[in-house]
Amino acid sequence: MSDISEKRVVVITGSGGGIGCATAYRFSKAGYEVVLLDMDLEAAEKTASKIGVGDDHCFQTDVSSQNSIRETIESVLLKFGQIDALVNAAGIPGKSARFENYPVEVAEKVLCVNIMGTLMMMQAVLPSMQKRGEGSIVNFGSVSGHRGYPYESAYGASKAAVIELTKTAANENGCNGVRINSVSPGWVDTNMMKQTINGYKDVGCECTYDNVRLGPMKRPADPREIADVVFFLCSKEASYINGSDIVIDGGKITE
């Protein structure tokens, strides 16, 4: 096996986004070989530049396509030899709309990317982890998957499903050395937050970045604060954490 495959390898989907980029940086800082997946290859390459790895660490991957995922994971295993950690950060918010008006085609896309993307990524990576008898997967839920926030029925449903997928997969794999957990952020200072707040205008909500309800800490999370928790869950220090969903929202969910 080459020197590069002897390093620990993490695969991060949605690596071009704010949380994905911060997560890539956190793993890179710890000495991981970081593999960057994103539908937008240019966005993944920007993250690669920020963390100091080459474009050969980037893969254009559509997580709503099983073929795209399979081709990517086969290429990753061929190039890097193993996958020690998988972070399923890819996701889309959909649009803001009342439940009875929510466009079915938009809901289908949100559910496909957020639920099926997570499911198919796990299915593609798990066999190699099971064979080696070790590995960690972190999926992305959301506080929207815990409570029914207005105007995000598809997004909330998708994140609730991801949390349950995580628990089921963790139950099945806990005995073979693979741990599977999820994190559920509240507001995070990313482009997705801005996009969601702007979308509230479609339902007559004059919510802005400055007056949105943020919870008792009165601020959104920095993406690095989410990345730190994700990294911890993949570390040996979290060796007995399996099937958990860690809420990272500054207490917003308690309001």
Catalytic residues: 155
Distance from chain centroid for Cα 78: 23
Residue 129 neighbours by CB under 8 Å, 6+ apart = 83, 135, 137, 177, 178
Output the six-digit token pair for 179.
């741990």
Contact (CB, 8 A) for 182 and 166: yes
Residue 105 neighbours by CB under 8 Å, 6+ apart = none
Strand, helix or coil at 165?
helix
Nearest-angstrom CA–CA distance, 93 and 80: 32
Nearest-angstrom CA–CA distance, 141 and 255: 19
Output the six-digit token pair for 40.
């937008």
What contacts 24+ positions apart, CB below 8 Å, involve 145-149? 145/184, 146/184, 146/247, 146/253, 147/253
Q: What is the DSSP letter of 114?
A: I
Residue with tokens 């911060």: 22
Task: Using alpha carbons, select from 42, 44, 48, 52 the residue that is nearest to residue 13.
Answer: 44
Contact (CB, 8 A) for 209 and 200: no
